[in-house]
């Protein structure tokens, strides 16, 4: 039996049980969201995937495994990456298109999955909603806070479902625990959360001007970003560490922990943000901190702290990434989709392991596919049934805005006071210059 058939079998079983695919506990959607194109209603959701060198190929693979979805288009500006997407799509009729705008002209596309570089996330999503497509956009949903505001507005204006890739919003054990945490039934009132991410990334060197590779359309790769010359240490991954295109480790990985912490505490925007750290481990072109601590204080007498160590992989509390909550009656440490509850003296009260597992004790779908399928399955299910997704863009934007605020506070080297209703920086016009960005002429997002 093929991997695809095994995944489809599992997902049908899970869907029937209402497990992990968003079939239970969802709010009603605020608008009608029909599928487009002939034969689409009550059939498969036709999906285009943008950016398939790495993460996008993984998402295409999972979409192809879902019983009610099909990858119909691969959109990438580099030939090797496009080939990876085609292989993952598992569809002999899949179309390859370099220019996203041509994909959005297609009538046989219902939804767009975006895994291109960060500077493309919000502009591509805004274009897609205007074209009548639903959107799954990888984290972070924006390269700057203003883009996130625009994307929320675009989803409402065009009545499209937009889900961010904050996959933990669909992990079943975590969903149950965080609901109980907010209700105060696990450790009483929760007042503090800390999260962390540890890695051992290597230096990116000092880039040199170089000819654009023949298999890369660098003009389309840059898209909405003002033009910069090509350098030999930019594509495929190192763009993450340049302000012009990326968002640093805080948005690249911290989004996940900050989203879970904000969710568990039941908070939105902070009243105060501060950040410390720097590019300490290597001396190269990396522009963001590789060692960073961000703290957020909220009006509700609660706070969040996130620590990122990009270049020192020693784990924190036995995990290379994680979240811990602290409350009046104890604490909770989250490990993936599992967690452990402790009393105030550190004694274990309860442990829930990650799942589900097959008879041999391994993950049913494999560690990556399994948890991505929960979230992507919820996205597809939301489109088909006109219901709100687990990771709707309103909540995704809030969490990503916190990450942006942490980066802005670090860049200016000072604490910032914020409007707790929308996150805007107060009484600091210099810091607010980074709330948005300039765009290449003709590529400005329009809502």
Pairwise CA distance, residues 389 & 404, whole Å: 24
Alpha carbons within 13 A on the beta-carbon side of 230: 14
Could you report the per-residue pLDDT of 309-328, keeping only the tens digit for each? Answer: 999 999 999 999 999 999 99
CB atoms within 10 A of CB 279: 18
Q: Whole-prediction pTM value?
A: 0.90
pLDDT, position 32: 39
In order of 1, 8, 288, the CA distances from 5 in angstroms are 6, 5, 43
pLDDT, position 357: 53
Domains within the chain, CATH numbers bracketed:
3-168+367-392 (3.40.50.720), 170-205+220-366+396-426 (3.30.360.10)
Q: Which strand (E) or helix (H) includes residue 113?
A: strand 111-114
**Residue spans of the chain under pLDDT 70:** 1-42, 356-368
Which residues, listed in sequence order, are joined to residue 69 by a DSSP beta bridge? 45
- Give the Cα-Cα-Cα angle 302, 306, 312 (nearest 5 degrees): 160
Longest dimension (CA), the chain: 62
pLDDT, position 366: 54
Pairwise CA distance, residues 299 & 285, whole Å: 38
């Amino acid at each position: 039996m093929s991997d695809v058939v095994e995944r489809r079998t599992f997902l049908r079983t899970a869907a029937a049980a209402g497990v992990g695919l968003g079939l239970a506990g969802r709010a009603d959607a605020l608008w009608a969201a029909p599928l487009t194109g002939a034969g689409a209603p009550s059939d498969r959701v036709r999906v285009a995937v943008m950016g398939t060198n790495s993460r996008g190929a993984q998402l295409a693979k999972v979409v192809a495994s879902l019983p009610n979805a099909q990858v119909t288009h691969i959109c990438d500006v580099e030939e090797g990456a496009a080939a990876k997407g085609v292989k993952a799509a598992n569809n002999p009729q899949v179309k390859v298109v370099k220019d996203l705008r041509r994909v959005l002209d297609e009538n046989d596309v219902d939804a767009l999955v975006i895994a291109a570089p960060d500077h493309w996330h919000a502009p591509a999503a805004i274009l897609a909603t205007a074209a009548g497509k639903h959107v799954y956009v990888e984290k972070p949903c924006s390269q700057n806070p203003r883009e996130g505001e625009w994307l929320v507005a675009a989803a409402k204006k065009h009545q499209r479902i937009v889900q961010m890739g904050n996959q933990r919003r669909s992990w079943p054990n975590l969903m149950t625990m965080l609901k109980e945490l907010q209700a105060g039934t696990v450790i009483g009132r929760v007042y503090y959360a800390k999260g962390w991410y540890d890695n051992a990334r290597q230096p990116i060197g000092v880039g040199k001007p170089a000819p654009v590779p023949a298999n890369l359309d660098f003009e389309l790769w840059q898209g909405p970003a003002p033009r910069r010359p090509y350098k030999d240490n930019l594509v495929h991954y190192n763009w993450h560490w340049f302000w012009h295109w990326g968002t640093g480790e805080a948005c690249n990985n911290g989004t996940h922990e900050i989203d879970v912490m904000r969710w568990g505490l039941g908070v939105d925007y902070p009243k105060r943000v501060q950040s410390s750290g720097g590019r300490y481990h290597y001396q190269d072109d990396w522009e963001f901190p590789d060692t960073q601590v961000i703290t957020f204080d909220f009006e509700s007498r609660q706070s969040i702290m996130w620590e990122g160590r990009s270049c020192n992989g020693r784990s924190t509390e036995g995990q290379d990434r994680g979240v811990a909550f602290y409350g009046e009656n104890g604490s909770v440490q989250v490990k993936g989709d599992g967690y452990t509850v402790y009393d105030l003296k550190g004694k274990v009260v309860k442990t829930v392991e990650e799942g589900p597992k097959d008879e041999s004790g391994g993950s049913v779908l494999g560690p990556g596919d399994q948890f991505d399928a929960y979230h992507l399955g919820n996205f597809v299910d939301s489109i088909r049934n006109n219901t709100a997704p687990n990771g709707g863009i309103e909540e995704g934007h809030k969490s990503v805005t916190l990450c942006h605020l942490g980066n802005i506070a670090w860049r200016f080297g000072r604490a910032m006071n914020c409007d707790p209703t929308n996150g805007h920086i107060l009484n600091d016009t210099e810091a607010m210059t980074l709330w948005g960005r300039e765009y290449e002429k003709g590529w400005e997002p329009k809502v």
